[in-house]
Structure 1
Amino acid sequence: MNLVILKPGLLTTVQDLGRYGVQKYGVIVGGAMDAFALRIANLLVGNGENDAGLEITMLGPEIYFPEAALIAIGGGDLSPVLNGRQVPAWRTVYVPEGSRLQFGRMKLGCRAYLAVAGGLDVPVRMNSRSTYLRAGIGGHEGRVLQAGDRLPIGEPSSIGRHLADLLAGEARGDEPAIGRWSVSPELLPAYAANPTLQAIAGQEQDLFDNEAISRFYQEDYSVRTESDRMGYRLSGGELRLATKRELISSAVTFGTVQVPPDGQPIVLMADRQTTGGYPRIAQVASVDLPLLAQTPLGGRIRFRAVSLEEAQKQYLVREKGIRVLRSGLEQLQTNRNGKVRTNGER
């Protein structure tokens, strides 16, 4: 079973949750920019959270399904349309044989994620199916997708097969069937073009003068057009060190905010390097990484200080919500009427 790329869109790649265990060899983690969106989309079709799906950036592709399939779309709203009908995000969708999925105007956020029951069965490279474009590895031939590409789909799980069976009988002709279950709005990130991101004090924040720290948390920063999957380059008030000091390169991660000599911060993203030598003024809280990933070029970001304890508490609350959703979807296998409670929703 395959899906076929008719039009590739602006930047469409195969991604999972990243390539872990090889940073010691200088290989980046990579993976989905909005990992939350991919995880939820995967759960909605009965996949494992780390199964490979499509990351669709700004301008979406046109995709043909030669056979019936079960899909879910999460993340930003890029106006998905299946056989001429609008498709809701964060829902399980049964796709009839011969369907075409298209994307339109970018309404909110800049990245959508498409999960297909069974996952995209591209080769595993160093523990991951993610595409790392700079090295040309992973995904589909290590590159962005092109017209004519055929992507193999793996065998759906028992949950995926059951969800497909529940919806198959409701499909009429080329009209898709939409699952009655949904994700609680309370679990979903509050995507915005100009988000406020919670940030924890970085390891070298005390090297900056008081004016720089105050500016960092009180002024807006715009996302520059040269930003990419490696890092968001920001433009705003200059951040100066109180005392210049040579630093030894040290660990960085998704959301680390570094400040190079020009005083304009860089927020490291999914394709970040394994270590960095610029002073780290802050670290974006994990729970707000989806908001960061969905901020478009030209969008404005503001940072708000938060304690490590509060950031951890919010992270655990979201993870609990994801567990509740997973449990609710598993209950569908034994619930004949197809109803499920997912973090308070029916």
Structure 2
Amino acid sequence: MITILETSPLNTVQDLGRPGYRDLGVGTSGVMDPIALRVGNILLGNNDDDACIELQTYPFVLRFDAAATFVVGGIDAALELDGRPVLPWMVETAAAGQVLRIGPPSKGARGYVCIAGGIDVPVVLGSRSTQLRGGFGGLDGRPLEVGDTLETTGATLDISGYGALPPSAVLGNPAGEEDGRTINLRAMPATDYGLFTPDAQQRLWATPWRITPQSNRVGYRLSGAPLELRHRVELRSYGVIAGIVQVPPAGEPIVQLSDANTVGGYPRIATVIEADLWRLGQARIGTRIRLHECSFAEGVAAMRPVVAYLDDLRMMVGRYRQSARCRTGVKSGDRA
């Protein structure tokens, strides 16, 4: 069990989401950076979709009421376990009573506290993710508060002190180098792209769009020169998924994210590819994003380096743990 000692609004329990219910009006939810969650779970030997704590406001402080092995990923930040510095993306084991403090990140926006065995909250519609708009999932369908307790399996790994290179260090960014102020993302022209004027189409790719404060897990509202339609149109409602870039009448785009609406009716000008959605999930308010046009085939191919990175990590973790057991004489399946 862990106890929350300090938190700010909007920190929640999330997993990889609940697909398959959009036809019933239930959004997918899930983490904004699925690669960070997968990395944490791989390092801990968890299932890929075991639940974690997603942080988007800081500082965050928790107490381990029982020994637990954990990883904090997604961000570069000052991490302390009972005052001792620990590194992000590294496997650590805490003793009962120890306190983990996570400060504001110097890089990235959303941190992920993954624990061996995952966070044990009720499964609702196939997922442990918090759905804030619907008020269900996670811990009573709400953000975490001071004094909350979360059940864990109580598992500790027999080996710790190893970790992973962050995805940003391994994958780079094929869409362009980043300077901390602008994030480059690949996107495909969407269904209604042809409804926009040639000038609007050109500005979509040329504009460094700023993420406004009117942004959240539902979507990022972008500020920039308005995008105009060739003529006024009325569209039937259509299904919406994360990554779709809609353009409301005012002309400033909205990128749908993890808590995306299930249906919408604004014209769709582009779709951020799946391989780059984690980069968008780590973008802070005020950051600028640049969209770079790619084809459907290029978007599909862009997932291959991501899959290879995760597969290589699984192999590395397996070999390291096997080697460490051989050195220490610990048998497979034993726990510390």
CA shift digits 1:239-265 (9 cap, x unpaired): 001122211111221111000110000
| Cα offset, 1:307, TM superposition | 1.6
Q: 1:281 aligns with which of 269, 274, 281?
A: 269
| Cα offset, 1:321, TM superposition | 1.7
Residue identity matched to 2:7: P
Unpaired segments of 5 or more residues in structure 1?
168-177, 340-346
Q: Distance in 1 between matches of 2:11 and 2:185?
A: 26
The answer to which of 9-18 and 255-264 deviates more is 9-18
Other structure's SS at 1:29 match: coil
When normalised by structure 2's length, the TM-score is 0.90
The answer to which of 80-89 and 219-228 deviates more is 80-89
User: How big is the alpha-carbon RMSD for the aligned residues of Structure 1 and Structure 2?
Assistant: 1.9
Residue identity matched to 1:293: G
**1:247 equivalenced with 2:235 (yes/no):** yes
| Cα offset, 1:294, TM superposition | 1.0
CA shift digits 1:252-298 (9 cap, x unpaired): 21111000110000000100011211111101111111111111111
The answer to which of 274-283 and 325-334 deviates more is 325-334
Q: 1:317 aligns with which of 302, 305, 310?
A: 305
| Cα offset, 1:123, TM superposition | 0.3
Q: Distance in 1 between matches of 2:247 and 2:184?
A: 19
Residue identity matched to 2:185: L
**1:130 equivalenced with 2:112 (yes/no):** no
CA 211–134 in structure 1, closer or farther in 2 if over 3 Å, else same: same
Q: Which residue of 1 aligns with 2:120?
A: 121
Q: Distance in 1 between matches of 2:105 and 2:147?
A: 24
Q: Distance in 1 between matches of 2:93 and 2:172?
A: 22
Other structure's SS at 2:113 match: strand
Residue identity matched to 2:222: L
The answer to which of 12-21 and 99-108 deviates more is 99-108
Residue identity matched to 2:241: T
Q: Which residue of 2 aligns with 1:10?
A: 9
Q: How many residues align?
A: 321
Q: Which residue of 2 aligns with 1:40?
A: 39
| Cα offset, 1:91, TM superposition | 1.6
Percent identical residues: 37
Q: Distance in 2 between matches of 1:77 and 1:333?
A: 25
Residue identity matched to 1:135: G
Q: Distance in 1 between matches of 2:38 and 2:71?
A: 11
Q: Distance in 2 between matches of 1:332 and 1:61?
A: 31
CA shift digits 1:213-259 (9 cap, x unpaired): 11110011111111111010111011001122211111221111000
Q: 1:165 aligns with which of 137, 158, 177?
A: 158
The answer to which of 250-259 and 260-269 deviates more is 250-259
Residue identity matched to 2:77: L
Query: Residue 67 of structure 2 contacts residue 154 of structure 2 at CA under 8 Å; is this kept in 1?
Result: no
Q: Distance in 1 between matches of 2:294 and 2:181?
A: 21
Query: Residue 217 of structure 2 contacts residue 260 of structure 2 at CA under 8 Å; is this kept in 1?
Result: yes
| Cα offset, 1:96, TM superposition | 2.4
CA 188–83 in structure 1, closer or farther in 2 if over 3 Å, else same: farther
Q: 2:170 aligns with which of 176, 181, 186?
A: 186
Q: Distance in 1 between matches of 2:113 and 2:172?
A: 16
Q: Distance in 2 between matches of 1:335 and 1:135?
A: 46
Other structure's SS at 1:262 match: coil
| Cα offset, 1:188, TM superposition | 7.0
**1:304 equivalenced with 2:292 (yes/no):** yes
Q: Distance in 1 between matches of 2:191 and 2:307?
A: 26
CA 7–155 in structure 1, closer or farther in 2 if over 3 Å, else same: closer
The answer to which of 112-121 and 236-245 deviates more is 236-245
Alignment of 1:1-346 (within 5 A): 2-154=1-153, 156=155, 164-167=157-160, 178-179=161-162, 181-183=163-165, 185-187=169-171, 192-336=180-324
| Cα offset, 1:182, TM superposition | 2.7
| Cα offset, 1:44, TM superposition | 1.0
Q: Distance in 2 between matches of 1:155 and 1:315?
A: 34
Residue identity matched to 2:324: R
When normalised by structure 1's length, the TM-score is 0.88
Query: Residue 12 of structure 1 contacts residue 60 of structure 1 at CA under 8 Å; is this kept in 2?
Result: no
CA shift digits 1:175-220 (9 cap, x unpaired): xxx22x4337314778844201111111111111110011110011
Other structure's SS at 1:257 match: strand
Query: Residue 77 of structure 1 contacts residue 110 of structure 1 at CA under 8 Å; is this kept in 2?
Result: no
Query: Residue 230 of structure 1 contacts residue 273 of structure 1 at CA under 8 Å; is this kept in 2?
Result: yes
Unpaired segments of 5 or more residues in structure 2?
328-336
CA 133–8 in structure 1, closer or farther in 2 if over 3 Å, else same: same
